[in-house]
Structures are given as structure tokens and as C-alpha cells.
Copies of this chain bind each other. A is one copy, B any other.
Amino acid sequence: MRLATHQLDGRTIATADSGSGPRCTGAASVDDLLRQADWRDTARRAAEQGEPVPESAGIVAPIRTPAKVLCCGLNFRAHIEEMGRGVPAVPTFFAKWADTLTGPAADIDLEPGDTAQLDWEAELAVVVGADLRRASVAECADAIAGYTVSNDLSLRDRQWATTQWLSGKAWDATTPVGPVVVTADAFDPAEHTVTCRVDGETVQHAPLDDLLFPPAELLHHASMFTRLRPGDLVLTGTPAGVGAGRDPQRFLADGQVLETEVSGIGLLRNTIRIRS
């Protein structure tokens, strides 16, 4: 089943689609839906009997107000090598906020002084579907609501201005997410790939079975230190091929089109806008 958040007449609507097109669930967003204890039943019923969403509805980031957005750095072996790091024993976690997220077709709007080093990081993102604290890997596997696509766009000069990456990673409205959340019963990451294209040129492409810490293990490690809740989002890390890892380095410029795709889920298509 595919869950999405559509926008119509200024309000947002969570939809569920099991093959006959997106239908209204009654919730305002996918994260709002997931906060209902019986969200699976609600979504299934909506996908069968719900009101079809009008064709004029747009699509926005499926997850709107997560309490937490956690990200894992350095989770693909080849990317760890290109960044000159050692293989970690535990995940390298950092945080974003709801404000960091933006839509699957939104422009990435920056001002000229913001960064000279805007870089791409295509990623699979895990959507949490239950409460998790000090949870086992098996409990975490059961608690995955589904998967979506994201790009952990990074302002490298900001990220590396201090030891802590936050300001380069949690810049408002720079992490596109979507277009849909595919529920966990319908998506096995190990059978899929993540791809990033800049103006049509493939810059990242990797199988998702190459993750050092697969989704349920990431949730387990995160739940050891903080409670995860329905609607929270965990970005799983990017494969090799980022601009900063190239020789010479290469960064995004005004007007370039960034496409981020996970096979079996869908495509983000975002244009970089650096206002002058």
C-alpha cells in the first residue's frame, strides 16, 4: 500500500492507495494517520472504500510534523571510504527537524551567502509506526510503518565549519521527502536501489542491501537513547558518489535539477534556486 499526503484548497489530506488510486483516509498527513493506533486498518479501509482524491490535488512531503528526524551518517562502505573515515561500530546519528523537510517537487531555496558547497545525498528513509524505547531489533522491525525517499542535501561549508554537522544538515526546507510511503509489507529494501541524478546525469547509484546498519538495527540503536514515535523519520545514510568526495569536488548550482529515486517507491525532483 502507498500512503501519501495530498494538498487541496490549502489543506492537506493523507491518502492510501492499494492499486485503485489515492483515496482519502480522514487524517491530515501520513504522520497524523500513523499516530492512530489502528492506522493499518484505517488505511486499508480507506484504500478500498475511501473518497478518491481529486486529480487537481498536489502532493507534498508525506511526513509533516515528526517529533524527531534522525539521520545516520556513514552507513555505506564505499561512502565511508570516499569521506576518508573508518568503519564505525555504532551508527553516527545526527538530527534534523520538521522544519528541515520539504516536498518531493519543491524548489530548494537558498540565498547566495548561505553556502558555496551544496551537495547531494540520496537516501532511503524509514518511517516509524509504533512507540520504541530500548527496543530489540525484532521489535523495531515490526514497528517500521514503511519507507520513503529523501535527499539529505548538505551545505558542506556549514557542516564542516565546526565538529558538529547540524547547521549544514538541518538548514530549513532543504531535505526533500516523498513522494509516497510504501508500507513495510510491500517493500524489502534489500531488493531495491537508491539513485541520484543531477541534470539527468547519474551521480549516485547503489543497492540498498549494502547498508552497514539496516533499518531495524538503526531504529534499535536510536531507541537505546531516545523514544521513537509514530511518524518519526530515520534517514538511513547515503552511498558513494557525493560531490564532496569527488576529485575535483563538485557542488550544486542555481537552476540545476536534482532527482532522487528509490526503486519501488518513487522519485523526488527538486530544482536548486539560489536567489541573487
A residues engaging B (CB < 8 A)? 67-68, 73-74, 88-95, 97-100, 133, 158, 161-167, 170-172, 221, 224-227
Query: A172 to B227, alpha carbons, bound, how many Å?
Result: 7
7 contacts between A and B (CB under 8 A): A90-B162, A93-B166, A94-B164, A133-B172, A164-B165, A167-B221, A172-B226
- Point out the residues of chain B lying under 8 angstroms from A227, CB to CB: 99, 172
Query: A24 to B183, alpha carbons, bound, how many Å?
Result: 46
A161-B89 in contact (CB<8A):
yes
Interface centre among A67, A100, A133, A221 (most CB of B within 10 A): A67
Which of B68, B88, B95, B224 interacts with A162 by CB under 8 Å? B88
CB distance from A155 to the nearest CB of B (A): 8
B225-A172 in contact (CB<8A):
yes
Chain A interface, DSSP helix/strand/loop, else mixed: loop
- Point out the residues of chain B lying under 8 angstroms from A226, CB to CB: 97, 99-100, 170-172
- Point out the residues of chain B lying under 8 angstroms from A67, CB to CB: 97-99
A225-B97 in contact (CB<8A):
no
A94-B166 in contact (CB<8A):
yes
Which of B90, B95, B161 interacts with A90 by CB under 8 Å? B161
Interface centre among A68, A164, A167 (most CB of B within 10 A): A164
- Point out the residues of chain B lying under 8 angstroms from A164, CB to CB: 73, 92-94, 164-165
Top 6 A-B residue pairs of the complex, sorted by shortest distance between their CB atoms: A92-B162, A95-B95, A94-B164, A167-B225, A171-B225, A93-B166
A94 (CB) vs chain B CBs: closest residue? B164
Query: A172 to B133, alpha carbons, bound, how many Å?
Result: 10
- Point out the residues of chain B lying under 8 angstroms from A89, CB to CB: 161
A170-B92 in contact (CB<8A):
no
CB distance from A275 to the nearest CB of B (A): 12
